[in-house]
């Protein structure tokens, strides 16, 4: 009888002890597990997988740390409130709330059940129970609508509806454990959807900022070779005018989709055809020239190009470079765009001939992050007076700090992850007197 009565107690305790032991050993071996997982994925996908893991880890750690801060503040205010109401062991219930609030939706009310029952038991009126319930209700509403949006923001990258739906799904699948893990697991699926085509549906359904209909239609039109309709779409969206917003919201996502999802790896006839159409559309787009009042008053010191743009691997890198060159025309900065078809040694030799003071290496593929630092370092050795800039256009805004730090330390380069940031950085590094406003595409020199 004693054995039968203790079995329901020892079962959960044993499972909890097993989980704790596994967690401890996994934390101790976390770096080795990470390396083993990357090797399991395969060499061809190491860079993409590494970026996905880094972004998922960064998002989850930021979310959990922010949740801990919110819960701690919640518990402190709750403990003070319960103490003033006169509930015994107020700090105990506050600590219990701090822990159980990590369990979405139901954790708070599980922790609130005990103080409510206790307030009913010790009070001779309904004053204490009503105050206790009002305290929990006020703190929950205030925290959910004011504190959490400010502290957590979009740390998980999920829409609010996706958070609720994922909680229902994982609870149905795994019960209370699924509810606890619902947000972290769904956030990981959203990140995977950004890097792997098989999980793309998760990014579309759950992400806070899924691909827009315009972006999807533009990619589809290019794939199907419907150039005139793609041009009509650009005309409707931007009046065939090339700008930083159009580049970042439409052209860059298209290039990422082509390089990372649709045709990853080596060049193919389909990829070349799509890039040919995209290059033709970009050449037809116009760039707004600043008015005379915005042009620099000082005469240019030299008409030589001030910036050399080096495509790191392929045509996609060169297309981003051409966009940057076109946009820099409006700032009076002449650029030289090297060919993407030349070998790395030939590119370095050509840069030595040009003797540019600024060199931008453009890379759209995620796997470029592994080796682009070596190229930047080799260029710096050959041209020590040049300032090396690195554009990693598929690098996530969050979760890439480790790669940025590694590239910066190895080559002393400045890292950019979006076109607007790169334009501002380049303009700030070119002396004002060297700016020259000249309309037309002749300001972009093609170097082969």
CATH code for the domain in which residue 255 is found:
1.10.1240
Question: What rounded mean pLDDT belongs to the chain?
Answer: 78
Q: Which structural domain, as residue segments, surrounds residue 219?
A: 213-284
Name the residue with tokens 């402190």.
Answer: 76
In a shared domain, residues 392 and 279:
no
Contact in structure between 328 and 426 (CB atoms under 8 Å): yes
pLDDT interval class at 3 (50, 70, 90): low
Averaged pLDDT, 397-413: 73
Write the pLDDT tens digit of every residue in 121-151. Answer: 888 888 888 999 999 989 988 888 778 777 7
In a shared domain, residues 415 and 331:
yes
pLDDT above 60 for 290: no
pLDDT interval class at 81 (50, 70, 90): very high
Write the pLDDT tens digit of every residue in 188-214. Answer: 888 877 777 677 778 778 877 665 567
Please give, one letter per residue, the 3-state secondary structure of 93-136. Answer: HHHHHHHHCCCCCCHHHHHHHHHHHHHHHHCCCCHHHHHHHHHH
- The rounded distance, in Å, linking the Cα atoms of 24 and 6 is 27
The domain tally of the chain equals 2
Task: Work out the percent of the chain whose per-residue pLDDT is above 70.
Answer: 80
Averaged pLDDT, 246-265: 78
pLDDT interval class at 48 (50, 70, 90): low
In a shared domain, residues 274 and 306:
no
Residue ending a domain, choose from 237, 258, 284: 284
In a shared domain, residues 234 and 274:
yes
Does the residue 371 lie in any domain?
yes
pLDDT interval class at 442 (50, 70, 90): very low
Can you tell me whether residue 192 is helix, strand or coil?
A: helix
In a shared domain, residues 269 and 311:
no
Does the residue 238 lie in any domain?
yes
- Where is 334: in which H helix or E strand? none
Task: Work out the percent of the chain whose per-residue pLDDT is above 90.
Answer: 6
How far from the centroid of its chain's Cα atoms is residue 124's Cα?
56
Does the residue 25 lie in any domain?
no
Identify the pLDDT of residue 427.
87
């Amino acid at each position: 009888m004693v054995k039968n009565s203790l079995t329901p107690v020892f079962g959960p305790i044993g499972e909890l002890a097993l989980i704790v032991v596994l967690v401890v050993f996994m934390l101790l071996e976390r770096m080795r597990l990470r390396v083993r997982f990357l090797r399991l994925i395969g060499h061809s996908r190491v860079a993409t997988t590494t970026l996905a893991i880094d972004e998922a880890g960064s998002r989850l750690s930021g979310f959990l740390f922010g949740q801990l801060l919110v819960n701690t503040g919640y518990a402190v205010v709750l403990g003070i409130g319960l103490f003033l109401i006169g509930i015994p062991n107020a700090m105990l219930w506050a600590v219990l709330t701090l822990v159980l609030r990590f369990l979405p939706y139901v954790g708070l009310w599980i922790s609130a059940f005990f103080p409510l029952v206790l307030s009913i038991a010790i009070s001779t009126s309904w004053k204490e129970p009503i105050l206790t319930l009002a305290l929990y209700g006020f703190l929950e509403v205030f925290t959910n609508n004011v504190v959490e949006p400010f502290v957590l923001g979009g740390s998980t990258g999920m829409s609010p509806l996706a958070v609720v739906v994922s909680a229902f799904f994982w609870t149905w699948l795994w019960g209370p454990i699924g509810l606890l893990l619902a947000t972290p697991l769904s956030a990981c699926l959203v990140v995977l959807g950004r890097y792997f085509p098989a999980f793309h549906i998760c990014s579309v359904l759950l992400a806070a900022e899924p691909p827009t209909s315009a972006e999807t239609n533009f990619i589809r039109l290019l794939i199907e070779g419907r150039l005139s309709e793609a041009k009509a779409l650009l005309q409707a969206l931007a009046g065939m005018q090339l700008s930083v917003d159009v580049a970042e919201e439409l052209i860059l996502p298209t290039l990422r989709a082509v390089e990372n999802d649709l045709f990853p790896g080596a060049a193919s006839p389909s990829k070349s055809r799509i890039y040919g159409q995209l290059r033709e559309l970009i050449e037809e787009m116009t760039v707004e020239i600043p008015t005379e009042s915005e042009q620099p008053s000082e005469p240019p010191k030299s008409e030589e190009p001030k910036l050399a743009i080096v495509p790191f691997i392929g045509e996609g890198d060169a297309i981003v470079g051409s966009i940057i060159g076109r946009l820099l025309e409006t700032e009076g900065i002449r650029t030289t765009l090297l060919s993407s078809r030349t070998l790395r040694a030939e590119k370095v030799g050509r840069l030595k001939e040009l003797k540019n003071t600024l060199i931008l290496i453009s890379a759209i593929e995620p796997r470029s992050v592994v080796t682009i630092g070596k190229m930047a370092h080799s260029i710096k050795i050959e041209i020590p007076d040049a300032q090396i800039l690195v554009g990693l256009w598929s690098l996530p805004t969050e979760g890439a700090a480790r790669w940025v730090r590694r590239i910066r330390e190895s080559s002393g380069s400045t890292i950019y992850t979006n076109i607007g940031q790169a334009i501002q950085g380049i303009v700030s590094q070119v002396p004002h007197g060297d700016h020259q406003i000249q309309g037309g595409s002749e300001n972009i020199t093609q170097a082969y």
